[in-house]
Structure 1
Amino acid sequence: MNNLPQSNVRAAILIAEEPPIFRFNSFPFPGVVITPTEAREVINYASRSSAPRATIDFQQTILGTEPRERPALSDDASRGPGRSYDGILKPDLMAPGVSILAAYYPHATGPRIGNNIFLSTDYTLLSGTSMACPHVSGTAALLKAAHPDWSPAAIQSAMMTTANPLDNTNQPIKDMAFDYTAATPLGIGSGLVDPNRALDPGLIYDVSQQDLVNLVCSMNFTPEQTQTLIRSSHNCSTPSADLNYPSFVALFSFAERGRTLTRRFQRTVTNVGDGAARYRVKLERPENTTVRIRPQTLVFQKKYEKKSYVLTIRYKADIETQNRDGSLTWIEENGKYRVRSPIMVSAGADNFD
């Protein structure tokens, strides 16, 4: 592409289907990229016309069913487990972040024509976490405006439990970095954020300030380090690593390889639906695990009522198959709500060093 300015042609049609080429935001020559299938149509048209013509028009993003047209995990996306603390499954979710039309500093050089004409612009195409973050932040702001009484944890829960792990063909979201195989929660978290569904999630996993203090207190920091993190007077009398989080990760270390381990999680959900409701659990077990949910039905008599349940996972510390994923979904009996949490059986972060 960078050699095109040295040619004598006025514009170019590039034929390619490799996903990275569609992320170019440095295109110093008039042109368009089309797929081999589209190329056959262009060639047929050009060969049959005595004066073929082409125009380039801006088109809104349209999702298709080809691999490069579906929502997918970018090959350069950050992946878990979390290095600072792997006891909470990370990332939480994914959001659009590739080739986003974004506001840009107008006094910096942006596009160029040929090799010596540099232009400034108020907008450009950018990719990365800096583009996905505004989508998530905007969704959080929307939820806070709709539910002023919700805590940050409640807003986070609503986004996570309503995120979509499927693409627009109802297949698992694929990972571009691994030849479009199915992505795991270590790449997409709960899935692609869905602002409309997050507005009315049915159930939320809430967290208090003391819950967060209990988590920090469980991390074996010195008193000085704990005080630095919490930045307030704190009570470490009830340390607990089992935060009321909308996802689950059952860890094992290299030293535990071959052993059968059991991990128990306790969670509390709050009914934020319209009123009384009954939920039944649907479970997708990670491979080669035994999972038990107690109770398997949650019955709420009124809005804001809380109910607790316990998830127990029994699994083998298999270093050869480090990551096994599944999910737990609470489904409202009338089908209005599906409150989904990913489950990950994973080697701890130390095994990835």
Structure 2
Amino acid sequence: MESSYREKFAYPGVVISPEDGAAVISYAKSGANPVASISFQQTFVRSTPAPVVATYTSRGPSPSYQGILKPDIMAPGSLVLASWIPNVYTALIYPAIELSSEFRMISGTSMACPHSSGIAALLKGAHPKWSPAAIRSAMITSAINIDNTNSPIKDSGLNYSIATPLAMGAGLVNPNFALNPGLIYDATPQDYINLLCAMKFTGKQILTITRSSTYTCQNASSDLNYPSFIALYTNETGATLSQKFTRTVTNVGDGPANYSVNMTVPSNTNISVYPSRLSFGSKYEKLSYTLTVEYSGNKTGEVVFGSITWVYLIGLHAVTSPIVVAPMIQTW
């Protein structure tokens, strides 16, 4: 049974194992003018490969609605040195010695979320008129999908195989690139209501979410103007998946811009984009395109992925969206 009495270890020092303690006591009693010193652990940076997807990360497709690719992005979340509550111990030496510190190494969503939300707040400060959807778009389309060895980001939960967007989204969030993304995929409140209508939410459920009854379901659509794509197949054999997406992008660069499309096509898949060039005459102009995914691979659980990138060489913009073809998961 754990003792109810706790003794706080509030002094400068180190904690060693009983085995090492016996050696220290023996040395102190040796009469050989014993001395001791403390060398603090060094921090080594630039470890490789980095970043990697953590084993504990949440993975898609989203059980609430598989038709929108989740997760969106990844952010630093493993063993982050974070400030800690001053009156709560950071470690316990059994049975009753508490170790305190102003900092603690923490892992999980509790660390990745502050990174992401902090970046979103910075983007809102730089672009106060941007909507939450625009900010999310900037973070997704500017994310980094290679590690510091210039190789695809790996998934430590799957034996360091190449991470799919179902594990890392578009990649590691990059605040500097997100500040000036070139193009954004925006969405209005009605666009989200159109999605809720397509998901067969009742009027009462939509009211609970929106807190408003002034909406319409006349244009219900599951094709939300999202900066990523996921096409889902079933286990039906002999069927070829074909899905069409429509997207609208807004030019947030400075002045006119001409974008051309580059694609990384998933295996066993054909991708077509129309038009293949987007010519913007001014800032904030909106243009639309369609993307069609045709998949004829195996229907036994294979996940394939690629990407589409709108490139503006003069403005040094590369606006990248992940594309995933994955099996539909039964949620009942």
TM range, smaller chain:
0.7 to 0.9
* TM-score normalised by length of structure 1: 0.82
Alpha-carbon shift at residue 222 of structure 1 (Å):
2.5
CA-to-partner distance for each residue in 1:154-207, whole Å, 9 max, x for gaps? 000000000001111111100001111100000000000000000000000000
Kindly indicate whether residue 61 of structure 2 is the aligned counterpart of residue 77 of structure 1. Answer: no
Aligned to 1:195: 175
CA-to-partner distance for each residue in 1:25-53, whole Å, 9 max, x for gaps? xxxxxxxxxxxxxxxxxxxxxxxxxx9x9
CA-to-partner distance for each residue in 1:72-105, whole Å, 9 max, x for gaps? 0001111000000000000000000001111222
Aligned to 2:28: none
- For 1:56, give the aligned amino acid: F
Aligned to 1:277: 257
Alpha-carbon shift at residue 115 of structure 1 (Å):
5.2
Q: For residues 266 and 10 of structure 1, do their structure 2 counterparts lie closer, same or farther at Cα, with a shift above 3 Å needed? A: farther
Q: For residues 266 and 109 of structure 1, do their structure 2 counterparts lie closer, same or farther at Cα, with a shift above 3 Å needed? A: same
Identity of aligned residues (%): 49
Larger gyration radius, structure 1 or structure 2: 2
Q: Distance in 2 between matches of 1:143 and 1:335?
A: 19
Q: Distance in 2 between matches of 1:78 and 1:4?
A: 36
Aligned to 1:6: 18
Alpha-carbon shift at residue 268 of structure 1 (Å):
0.4
Aligned to 1:243: 224
Alpha-carbon shift at residue 231 of structure 1 (Å):
2.2
Selected match of 1:172 from 148, 152, 176: 152
CA-to-partner distance for each residue in 1:208-241, whole Å, 9 max, x for gaps? 1110110101011222223223321210111000
Matches within 5 A, 1:7-156: 7-9=19-21, 55-59=39-43, 62-65=45-48, 67=49, 70-112=50-92, 116-156=96-136
Kindly indicate whether residue 205 of structure 2 is the aligned counterpart of residue 225 of structure 1. Answer: yes
Q: Distance in 2 between matches of 1:184 and 1:130?
A: 23
Q: Distance in 2 between matches of 1:202 and 1:221?
A: 35
Is the contact made by 2:51 and 2:147 (CA closer than 8 Å) also made in structure 1?
yes
Alpha-carbon shift at residue 9 of structure 1 (Å):
4.7
Aligned to 1:186: 166
Alpha-carbon shift at residue 123 of structure 1 (Å):
1.7
Q: Distance in 2 between matches of 1:227 and 1:312?
A: 34
* TM-score normalised by length of structure 2: 0.87
Structure 2 SS opposite 1:267: strand
- For 1:63, give the aligned amino acid: R
Aligned to 2:293: 313
Is the contact made by 1:253 and 1:350 (CA closer than 8 Å) also made in structure 2?
no
Kindly indicate whether residue 267 of structure 2 is the aligned counterpart of residue 287 of structure 1. Answer: yes
Shifted more, 111-120 versus 70-79: the winner is 111-120
Is the contact made by 1:325 and 1:345 (CA closer than 8 Å) also made in structure 2?
yes
Structure 2 SS opposite 1:309: strand
Structure 2 SS opposite 1:349: coil
Structure 1 SS opposite 2:114: helix
Is the contact made by 2:261 and 2:277 (CA closer than 8 Å) also made in structure 1?
yes
- For 1:6, give the aligned amino acid: P
Structure 1 SS opposite 2:250: strand
Is the contact made by 1:247 and 1:342 (CA closer than 8 Å) also made in structure 2?
yes
Is the contact made by 1:252 and 1:317 (CA closer than 8 Å) also made in structure 2?
no
Is the contact made by 1:82 and 1:349 (CA closer than 8 Å) also made in structure 2?
no
Q: For residues 305 and 11 of structure 1, do their structure 2 counterparts lie closer, same or farther at Cα, with a shift above 3 Å needed? A: farther
Shifted more, 183-192 versus 107-116: the winner is 107-116
Selected match of 2:314 from 326, 334, 350: 334
Selected match of 1:211 from 163, 188, 191: 191
Structure 2 SS opposite 1:109: coil
Q: Which runs of 5+ in 2 are unaligned?
A: 1-14, 25-34
Q: Which runs of 5+ in 1 are unaligned?
A: 13-50
Is the contact made by 1:265 and 1:310 (CA closer than 8 Å) also made in structure 2?
yes
- For 2:231, give the aligned amino acid: A
Q: Distance in 2 between matches of 1:10 and 1:341?
A: 59
- For 2:328, give the aligned amino acid: G
CA-to-partner distance for each residue in 1:107-160, whole Å, 9 max, x for gaps? 222124575421223221110011000000000000000000100000000000
CA-to-partner distance for each residue in 1:40-75, whole Å, 9 max, x for gaps? xxxxxxxxxxx9x9833443x61233x4xx210001
Over aligned residues, Cα RMSD in angstroms?
Answer: 2.3
Q: Distance in 2 between matches of 1:5 and 1:114?
A: 12
Q: Distance in 1 between matches of 2:296 and 2:320?
A: 24
Alpha-carbon shift at residue 321 of structure 1 (Å):
4.4
- For 1:191, give the aligned amino acid: G
